């Protein structure tokens, strides 16, 4: 009898936790206009989960790959991009920090120039390489994953060009309307 009561109380507690999670999810849906949106990102250089060609790495030209996307919500004021490697031996390694892309931009050409400001007004923050702009994969060993994460924001950000991924993540909090990601892999020969 005691076991049945414990099981019943556990089920009640779990049901309550689930309804709290559903309530939180409903609040998030309200913030995004009632629909959870996902941005779809693609690259002609590699498929989702595929190997990245060496021209986009330290073994090649170390240039950024071309990216394009769909699914940006109408209320978007700016777009941000982060590329990082969660498999680095020192922890997550940041390869690209880009923010304040205009919302009408739907692609980035191959070989975006390094520097703090792009021609369209977007800003590039500081990567873990200690510089502005894209820094390609250069894993010390094994196969690493590189996540290109795109965020549609309901605001322009007031970050300066010395900003890092951590600064960007903090500034985006509460402003993300939609997001998406593309993951590529690389292994040095």
Are residue 10 and residue 70 in the same domain, yes or no? no
**pTM here?**
0.81
pLDDT band at 81 (very low <50, low <70, confident <90, very high): very high
CB-based contacts of 161, cutoff 8 Å, min separation 6: 116, 117, 123, 124, 125, 126, 132
How confident is the prediction for the chain on average, in pLDDT? 86
pLDDT band at 17 (very low <50, low <70, confident <90, very high): very low
Are residue 51 and residue 94 in the same domain, yes or no? yes
Are residue 114 and residue 161 in the same domain, yes or no? yes
Listed in sequence order, the DSSP H helices in the chain are: 2-31, 165-172
Are residue 84 and residue 117 in the same domain, yes or no? yes
Are residue 64 and residue 9 in the same domain, yes or no? no
Closest CA to 68 of 110, 28, 100, 38: 110
**CATH number of the domain where residue 99 is located:** 3.90.280.10
pLDDT band at 175 (very low <50, low <70, confident <90, very high): very high
pLDDT over 70 at 10, yes or no? no
pLDDT over 70 at 20, yes or no? no
Are residue 18 and residue 47 in the same domain, yes or no? no
pLDDT over 80 at 8, yes or no? no
Are residue 63 and residue 154 in the same domain, yes or no? yes
Alpha-carbon distances of 184 from 49, 50, 104, 150, 168, rounded to whole Å: 5, 5, 25, 14, 22
Domain count, the chain: 2
State residue 189's pLDDT score: 87
Average pLDDT over residues 37-42: 91
Terminal C-alpha separation, the chain: 64
Are residue 3 and residue 20 in the same domain, yes or no? yes
pLDDT band at 37 (very low <50, low <70, confident <90, very high): low
Are residue 132 and residue 174 in the same domain, yes or no? yes
Are residue 100 and residue 178 in the same domain, yes or no? yes
State residue 18's pLDDT score: 40
CB 31 within 8 A of CB 153: no
pLDDT over 90 at 115, yes or no? yes
- For 127, the domain range is 37-187
DSSP-derived 3-state class of residue 84: strand
Average pLDDT over residues 159-175: 97
pLDDT over 50 at 119, yes or no? yes
Are residue 65 and residue 10 in the same domain, yes or no? no
Are residue 43 and residue 126 in the same domain, yes or no? yes
Average pLDDT over residues 145-164: 97
pLDDT over 80 at 126, yes or no? yes
Gap between the Cα atoms of 45 and 103, Å rounded: 23
């Amino acid at each position: 009898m005691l076991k049945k009561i414990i099981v019943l109380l556990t089920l009640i507690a779990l049901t309550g936790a689930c309804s709290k999670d559903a309530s939180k999810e409903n609040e998030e849906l309200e913030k995004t206009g009632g629909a959870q949106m996902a941005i779809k990102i693609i690259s002609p250089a590699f498929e989702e989960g595929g190997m990245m060609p060496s021209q986009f790495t330290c073994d090649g030209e170390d240039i950024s790959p071309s990216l394009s996307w769909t699914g940006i919500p109408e209320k978007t004021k700016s777009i941000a991009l982060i590329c990082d490697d969660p498999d680095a031996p020192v922890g997550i390694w940041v390869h690209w920090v880009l923010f304040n892309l205009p919302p009408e931009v739907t692609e980035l050409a191959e070989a975006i120039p390094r520097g703090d400001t792009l021609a369209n007004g977007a800003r590039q923050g500081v990567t873990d390489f200690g510089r502005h702009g894209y820094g390609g994969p250069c894993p010390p060993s094994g196969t690493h994953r590189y996540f290109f994460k795109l965020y549609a924001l309901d605001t322009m950000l007031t970050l300066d060009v010395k900003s890092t991924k951590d600064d960007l993540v903090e500034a985006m909090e509460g402003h993300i309307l939609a997001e998406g990601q593309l993951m590529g892999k690389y292994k040095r020969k």
